[in-house]
Chains A and B, each alone.
Chain A
């Protein structure tokens, strides 16, 4: 342990004299700044709705009032032709024609044509709902219930934090630890260490500790600045340890099959791309095929989301930590066995 610690301190000293450590801090600070000052809290845009009303004056004012209350920007048109012309100028807008057909209120939703079936149905239901709520004498039949009242919810902006943590804290180690090993090989330092009482395992662990140190600094800085006291820090640290172990060990294992960073780059990059498919599922839950759900980064991303709450889902976090730790240790054992035979050859 003394030797591993000595080498770890040595690596810290070397990294402080290089650029990488400061780059990590700068990236974290830039990410926080972009999140705070550039990225909006919510990604949903205010929808513009062009409306043509073929209604008598009293009913007209009631309908306009209800539509404005829905939050959309209402642009009134004087004719159907004017409505269509306005919509062509704004391809993200939608249209609505409201007319009276005897005792019936007739609603005609006008769309651009690129909307999905789900969007069309949702829009139709929203308009109908708004009318049913507001027009006197009519009542809605739709009832909405929630499983957890007042459930904590991340803003759209904070929902990006798990993606950042997965890339910069867990997967960046994949590249960086490989780069450190190849640098030691190129400088020949690894040969000097190989003829000292330091074991291969101690050498590899010291490199992983360096990755962990940087991962912890990076993640705590980002989460503290963006979530403050709302996050669960003990779980965050536990998850960073497990995910960093997984990323670093995988990087070691891949690097053990190559003699230089240039040779290893293609495989490292492919591994990172495949692992990052999970972020598509995280950001777009409708895309979640089985092969993405079995990626370790899938549970990692959702667990990182949970640690951002004071009382996140413990089961989700625990399962991810155990899974990542086991996979990390397995990858480390394989990498260690390979390096014992090849590190100085």
Chain B
């Protein structure tokens, strides 16, 4: 659905490249997470893929359209949710969506249905200038769904949202993906990426360092360890045991047979730990 070959982008002629020789593909119905710290080149890549920035070097094809000269029809297939909310402050939430729906040549979603989906139906007729940051963010997210997009670009979709709403937003993303949407998700939140993405790409200083599925990365970079809490002599003890060491396997069986185990967690590496291990850099 998206093919990127040798993409590079400079903001100033002769200046440093914000993205260097990036190449990747996203299959139809796949969710690719683009992970990296601020200034890594995530938004620049998304900017070129959505046509907001001109394609300078390389080849980019999105939904069958060459991004060197993107045609306007492409945008009937695309949805873009921005990190910075950008809605008309003087219009109500409903007016914002109704206006935006009028710009498409394809059947669009019912604006009220979308507002209900993101929990804004009760303020549908309120001017968005009076909205909180989180509400504006949800409206921007809802607007990106108005044309029932086949390819969906999400930039930090859960940033600034409270956990309950972030949970709902993740649910919507999963549902749309299950219905066939291809998703390019830009985030520095590893937990969101882990939950939603089929594959993740680590990008640092404009370069993609690694692309793989979260599961493969954890298997490759994580330790197969179990953390067990159990009682011994009336006291609560915690032990870490390797699943691959024979001695630890026997010890774990012994504890299970004794019935003294209180809690037990597998301790595979998190995406954040893998990111640091691969790039040598943190995410913040």
B104 contacts A196, C-beta separation under 8 Å: yes
B102 contacts A3, C-beta separation under 8 Å: yes
In the complex, what distance in Å separates the CA atom of A97 from the CA atom of B103?
81
A303 at the interface (CB under 8 A from B): no
In the complex, what distance in Å separates the CA atom of A344 from the CA atom of B75?
15
B100 at the interface (CB under 8 A from A): yes
* Given contact pairs A14-B88, A17-B90, A191 touches B52 in the complex (Cβ within 8 A): yes
Chain B: minimal CB distance from A305 (Å): 39
Chain A: minimal CB distance from B40 (Å): 20
Chain A: minimal CB distance from B21 (Å): 21
11 contacts between A and B (CB under 8 A): A3-B102, A6-B102, A10-B88, A189-B88, A192-B82, A192-B87, A194-B52, A195-B80, A196-B75, A196-B100, A196-B103
Tier of interface size on chain B = 20 to 34
Could you give, for residues 1-27 of chain A, a 1 whenever the CB lies within 8 Å of some chain B CB and a 0 otherwise?
011001100100110011000000000
A197 at the interface (CB under 8 A from B): yes
Could you give, for residues 103-115 of chain A, a 1 whenever the CB lies within 8 Å of some chain B CB and a 0 otherwise?
0000000000000
A345 at the interface (CB under 8 A from B): yes
* 10 tightest A-B CB contacts, nearest first: A188-B86, A6-B102, A196-B103, A195-B80, A344-B52, A197-B75, A197-B72, A17-B90, A198-B103, A10-B99
B203 at the interface (CB under 8 A from A): no
**Residues from chain B with Cβ under 8 Å of A14 in the complex:** 88, 90-91
A141 at the interface (CB under 8 A from B): no
Chain A: minimal CB distance from B207 (Å): 22
Q: Tell which of B75, B82, B89, B100 touches A191, judged by Cβ atoms closer than 8 Å.
A: B82
* Given contact pairs A14-B91, A187-B88, A197 touches B104 in the complex (Cβ within 8 A): yes
B73 at the interface (CB under 8 A from A): yes
**Residues from chain B with Cβ under 8 Å of A153 in the complex:** none
B58-80: which residues lie under 8 A (CB-CB) from chain A? 72-73, 75-76, 78, 80
**Residues from chain A with Cβ under 8 Å of B95 in the complex:** 13
B97-145: which residues lie under 8 A (CB-CB) from chain A? 99-100, 102-105, 140, 143
Q: Tell which of B53, B80, B87, B104 touches A189, judged by Cβ atoms closer than 8 Å.
A: B87
Could you give, for residues 192-233 of chain A, a 1 whenever the CB lies within 8 Å of some chain B CB and a 0 otherwise?
111111110000000000000000000000000000000000
* Most chain B beta-carbon contacts within 10 A, residue among A14, A189, A195, A341: A195
Nearest B residue to A190, CB-CB: B86
* Given contact pairs A196-B103, A344-B52, A191 touches B86 in the complex (Cβ within 8 A): yes
Dominant secondary structure of chain B at its interface with chain A: loop
A197 contacts B54, C-beta separation under 8 Å: no
**Residues from chain A with Cβ under 8 Å of B100 in the complex:** 192, 196
B50 at the interface (CB under 8 A from A): yes
A345 contacts B53, C-beta separation under 8 Å: yes
Q: Tell which of B47, B53, B86, B89 touches A192, judged by Cβ atoms closer than 8 Å.
A: B86
Number of A-B contacts (CB under 8 A): 66
* Given contact pairs A188-B82, A344-B53, A193 touches B91 in the complex (Cβ within 8 A): no
**Residues from chain B with Cβ under 8 Å of A187 in the complex:** 86, 88-89
In the complex, what distance in Å separates the CA atom of A18 from the CA atom of B91?
11
In the complex, what distance in Å separates the CA atom of A18 from the CA atom of B95?
16
In the complex, what distance in Å separates the CA atom of A6 from the CA atom of B95?
12
Q: Tell which of A2, A3, A189, A195 touches B52, judged by Cβ atoms closer than 8 Å.
A: A195
B38 at the interface (CB under 8 A from A): no
**Residues from chain A with Cβ under 8 Å of B85 in the complex:** 188
Chain A: minimal CB distance from B75 (Å): 5
B103 contacts A3, C-beta separation under 8 Å: yes
Nearest B residue to A343, CB-CB: B52
Nearest B residue to A196, CB-CB: B103
In the complex, what distance in Å separates the CA atom of A191 from the CA atom of B100?
12
B260 at the interface (CB under 8 A from A): no
* Given contact pairs A193-B103, A345-B54, A188 touches B72 in the complex (Cβ within 8 A): no
Nearest A residue to B50, CB-CB: A195
In the complex, what distance in Å separates the CA atom of A191 from the CA atom of B75?
13
B249 at the interface (CB under 8 A from A): no
Nearest A residue to B104, CB-CB: A197
**Residues from chain A with Cβ under 8 Å of B50 in the complex:** 195
**Besides A14-B88, A198-B103, 16 other CB < 8 A contacts?**
A6-B99, A10-B88, A14-B91, A187-B89, A189-B86, A189-B87, A191-B52, A192-B100, A194-B51, A195-B78, A196-B100, A196-B104, A197-B76, A199-B72, A341-B54, A345-B53
Chain A: minimal CB distance from B252 (Å): 53
In the complex, what distance in Å separates the CA atom of A198 from the CA atom of B73?
9
**Residues from chain A with Cβ under 8 Å of B87 in the complex:** 189, 192
Chain A: minimal CB distance from B137 (Å): 12
**Residues from chain B with Cβ under 8 Å of A17 in the complex:** 90
B57 at the interface (CB under 8 A from A): no
**Residues from chain A with Cβ under 8 Å of B102 in the complex:** 2-3, 6
Chain B: minimal CB distance from A286 (Å): 49
In the complex, what distance in Å separates the CA atom of A7 from the CA atom of B80?
19
B178 at the interface (CB under 8 A from A): no
**Residues from chain A with Cβ under 8 Å of B238 in the complex:** none
Chain B: minimal CB distance from A75 (Å): 64
**Residues from chain B with Cβ under 8 Å of A194 in the complex:** 51-52
Chain B: minimal CB distance from A338 (Å): 13
B54 contacts A195, C-beta separation under 8 Å: no
B90 contacts A18, C-beta separation under 8 Å: yes
Chain B: minimal CB distance from A3 (Å): 5
B5 at the interface (CB under 8 A from A): no
**Residues from chain A with Cβ under 8 Å of B90 in the complex:** 14, 17-18
**Residues from chain B with Cβ under 8 Å of A189 in the complex:** 86-88
In the complex, what distance in Å separates the CA atom of A192 from the CA atom of B80?
8
Nearest B residue to A341, CB-CB: B54
Chain B: minimal CB distance from A61 (Å): 76
